[in-house]
Amino acid sequence: MNAIALAPAAARARATTLLTCALAALAGLMFGLDIGVISGATAFVQAEFAIDDRTIEWIVSAMMLGAALGAAGAGWLSAALGRKRSLVLSAALFVAGSLLCGLAWSPAALVGARLALGLAIGVATFTAPMYLAEVAPEHIRGAMIGTYQLMITLGIFVAFLSDLAFSYTGAWRWMLGIIAIPGALFLLGMLVLPESPRWLLLRGRREEAATILSRLRGDDAVVAREMAGIQAQLEAPQHGWNLFRRNRNFRRSVALGVALQVMQQLTGINVIMYYAPRIFAGVGFGTSAQMWTTAIVGLTNLLATFIAIALVDRLGRKPILYAGFAVMAVSLGAVGSMMYLGTDTPAAQWFTVAMLLVFIVGFATSAGPLVWTLCSEVQPLRGRDFGIACSTFVNWTANMLVGATFLSLLNGIGHAATFWLYAGLNLAFILVTALWVPETRGVTLEQIERKLMAGHRLRDIGRCRRP
Ligand code: BGC
């Protein structure tokens, strides 16, 4: 083949594709900034407004409530407006929400601003992975989804760093407001993004779809093949809700996606993401040590995600999930025990911090990225958008539940019992994984769909165990 003659066009197309995907992955960065930014601000907000823990829980969780609502409406929005315009809208709302957070004049205003920020991120967390799957060429699709999780963890880390920098002056308004700057860059990026060819075809805008696809692929044969492929897929249109009502097998895969997201959140990951400084205060650290250690948590989360990306297609989903839940159960059990025994000596304090870091590694290499991957793998094509919307909605709802109850749990049953509770849940998830989660490594989505729809047990819809 004349690879040399094609080289410039193909290289240009590859660069356009990578740039497009990088921009969409920036949505992951926004997700992470949103999650990370609040942890450093709560103590200062609490002091300035003289509010109790219950109100702080509201301020933290309003974002997740907004995100759940945003994710619930995102399917409709991205079908009606298109992927690109939905992402532009969410980026604009993100900028407005973060500026409002920085300017908040009362706790209620802060709750409102966090709600808006959440709406933005709910729309983006549904639309961006979908956009990625629609524009990324097949051979890099897996890596792209991994990149998305990586960007989430990068966002969290950057937010923790900026919290650290502003913590010396207690400038919580700057902590919350400054993420408007990456938000504005994201908005600019989204403005130059091409619309998804799949959505254009869905709207019958064939020529525009072909033009964009040839810019992205740079090879007429590939473009023709993909256009035909998308067209064939569109002949089996999305009937998520109808399928859900009529088909028991589809209800099972939706339930699996929902259960996976509930498990991901009930590992307790966001307890650490939202309240790390508070936890480190409980261990006996002063403000500066709290913020530094929180930044180390963010860095650990980011670095461990690389391990997950490297391992996921080699070891398979289930072994990684078993190991992850076991590590999380043991480390949280140890944190609870330390809280019970007391952390008065530096050795005890650092051991507790080390156990929390082990927990983070356990999450970031397993349930963090894998749950998102599994959630899109197990849904049949005709109901995929609906199934993913349901599980994303539940991710945010469960996330809110965790954020809205942590301080009450600490105040109610105490530090030790709270961590033991989460340790126990992680232990239970090993059993849930064994009983219901399929192994999807190296299995095509068509195969999974065939077995699901033929009524095989959920744990058998992926790779079958050798006899
Ligand atoms: C989860 C988030 C979490 C993040 C931490 C994501 O997979 O959905 O809730 O904050 O990982 O890295």
Per-residue confidence band for 237, with pLDDT thresholds at 50, 70 and 90: low
Of 114, 172, 121, 159, the C-alpha closest to 297 is: 159
In a domain, 211, yes or no: no
Q: Determine which residue's CA is closest to atom 4 belonging to ligand 1.
A: 368
Write b or e for each residue in 342-365: b if 16 or more Cβ atoms lie within 10 A of its Cβ, otherwise e: ebeeeeebebbbebbbbbbbbbbb
Among 33, 60, 121, 152, residue to substitute to test ligand 1 (most atoms within 8 Å of Cβ): 152
CATH number at 404 reads: 1.20.1250.20
Mean pLDDT of 77-104: 93
Q: How many domains does the chain have?
A: 1
In three-state secondary structure terms, 213 is: helix
Between 131 and 177, the higher pLDDT residue: 177
Span from the CA of 368 to the centroid of ligand 1 (angstroms):
6
The answer on pLDDT for 1 being more than 50 is: no
Between 31 and 356, the higher pLDDT residue: 356
Question: Angle at CA 441, nearest 5°, toward 135 and 152?
Answer: 50
The answer on pLDDT for 94 being more than 60 is: yes
Q: Which atom of ligand 1 is nearest to the CA of 153?
A: 12
In a domain, 71, yes or no: yes
In a domain, 132, yes or no: yes
In a domain, 209, yes or no: no
Mean pLDDT of 346-358: 95
The sign of the CA dihedral 55, 61, 67, 70 is negative
Distance of CA 319 to the CA centre of its chain: 21
pLDDT of res. 142: 60
Span from the CA of 452 to the centroid of ligand 1 (angstroms):
28
Compute the residue count for the chain: 467
Q: In the predicted model, what is the mean pLDDT of the chain?
A: 89
The range of the structural domain enclosing residue 184 comes to: 11-193+236-460
Burial bucket for residue 174 (CB in 10 Å: 0-12, 13-18, 19+): middle
Mean pLDDT of 390-414: 92
In a domain, 1, yes or no: no
Among 61, 270, 402, residue to substitute to test ligand 1 (most atoms within 8 Å of Cβ): 270
Q: Which residues line ligand 1 (CB under 6 A)?
A: 35, 149, 152-153, 156, 264, 269-270, 273, 301, 368, 395, 399
Mean pLDDT of 345-373: 94
In a domain, 146, yes or no: yes
pLDDT of res. 2: 46
Rounded distance between C-alpha atoms, residue 429 and residue 422, angstroms: 11
Span from the CA of 325 to the centroid of ligand 1 (angstroms):
15
Rounded distance between C-alpha atoms, residue 376 and residue 363, angstroms: 19
pLDDT of res. 192: 87
At 51-89, the pLDDT tens digits run 999 999 999 999 999 999 999 898 888 888 998 999 999
In a domain, 3, yes or no: no
The answer on pLDDT for 16 being more than 90 is: no
Q: Determine which residue's CA is closest to atom 6 belonging to ligand 1.
A: 368
Mean pLDDT of 431-438: 96
Question: Angle at CA 419, nearest 5°, toward 324 and 257?
Answer: 45
Q: Which amino acid is at 255?
A: A
Per-residue confidence band for 45, with pLDDT thresholds at 50, 70 and 90: very high
Angle between helical axes of 53-80 and 3-49 (0-180°, round to 10): 150
In a domain, 397, yes or no: yes
Span from the CA of 220 to the centroid of ligand 1 (angstroms):
39
Mean pLDDT of 261-274: 95
Alpha-carbon dihedral of residues 394, 404, 43, 46, nearest 10 degrees?
130
pLDDT of res. 464: 66
pLDDT of res. 213: 84
At 198-236, the pLDDT tens digits run 888 888 888 888 888 888 888 888 888 888 887 777 776
pLDDT of res. 180: 93
